[in-house]
Structure 1
Amino acid sequence: MRHVDPDRLVLLALGEVAADVAESGHVAHCVACRHDLDTTREVAEAGRRAQDLADLPPPPPRVWQRIAAATGVADQPEPVPAVTRPARPPRRSRLRVLALVAATAAAAVAVTLALPRLLDRPPAQAVAATADLAAVPAARTGASGVARVLGGDGGERLHLHVTGLPPDAGYYEVWLIDPDTSQMVSVGVLRAGGDELLPLPPTIDLRRYRLVDVSAEQYDGDVAHSGRSLLRGTLAS
């Protein structure tokens, strides 16, 4: 019996038809056909595993708009011209093309998923100053952290990353303090997760208010510092 037709192998691999007795006997003894069938089945199985990605919505228009703005190309991709269908490739080449198409489709799905996240990611911001935050001895906690002043078009912001804060019935508040005069300004609240990005007042002078303080506060209506500092560190550029 001659080799099994490549189109027939594809249908067999996809399970759309059942092999007859002659085909089963030939594939069982023909190394080439058995290899081609196994390879096609692997491609088909990869396609089945990615079936839940087949109905992904198209990327939002802003994805192409940002690509166009970055590359200087037209606002919309040019339509693909119609081409004459090429002649059927040889049996081995046909299966390699099928595998290549599957790999290309998987790569396209990955790019579709990743592009919106990459394009929506905020640009890197320069770090203007950093403070290592250490536990205040009187607080008797193992907490620590770091504070960074980030610059940007929207103004400076204070990013805090803190670990080891003890559970508290109240909340944690972030302050900037002038160590020379003890004057202080509340920047905002540090939530339980210990990671916060707080906008800084545009008029604050960080050369004066260079001490970062994290305090434990109660819901008592008093906006002043409680006097219970847990973490402190001095900003340095």
Structure 2
Amino acid sequence: MRHLDPETAALLALGEQSTSASERAHLEACAACRHEVAELQETVTVARSSLGEAELQEPPARVWQGIQRELGLSAEVAPSASPPVLSLADARERRSSRARRVVAPLIGVAAAAALIVGAVLTWNAASPRLGEQLLASAELEALPQWTDSTGSAELAQTASGERVLRVSLETGATGDGVREVWLLTEAVDGLISLGLLEGSEGEFVVPDSVDLERFSIVDVSLEPLDGDPTHSGDSIVRGPLGA
């Protein structure tokens, strides 16, 4: 399954690019990409309202707290109390292309937001996650064609109320394509893509709209790079979430 690249997601959030038929179809099918574009649109809305007042407003404290948590920074690291102010005249002079229509401070905020909410975040299992609640876990068992593989998954609720699924995969086998994480129904008659697993571990945001009582099976599959967003049918590991 080919997801939207970061540049396309950013341009869609900025309103600088119209969606093609294939992109619209992908956004309808992929909750992870819809979530990423929506988060970036929220950041752009806040930033543009600030530019309309001729100065940038300080981002909410939760943005910096999320950046500190994901990057493992100490609590003493904080944004400057006096963010730089850019006049509208200066902003116009710096617009050399549509990709540079957002001033540097905004680019920094948008990049940080994308790091936190992107379809896939790398994570460190040894790092403490204060205020989190473990909701469920799963032992992921290998499918017949991937007998040397194993995995695990943990579903947690963060201090901010966001649900995240952390997946770990160990496999000695390789194949052409990418690994994708899904939530399936027990009858395998419904599925939701959470995003691509890069490396052996990954963290994925589970949208509030997803009913985890129905979509209770975690699945990791090998997907060919053919542009088809549907499940390939080649599952590596799979297992049910349980308390």
TM superposition score normalised by structure 1 = 0.47
Q: Which has the higher contact order (CA 8 A, sep 6+)?
A: 2
TM superposition score normalised by structure 2 = 0.46
Instruction: Please say which structure displays the higher CA radius of gyration.
Output: 1
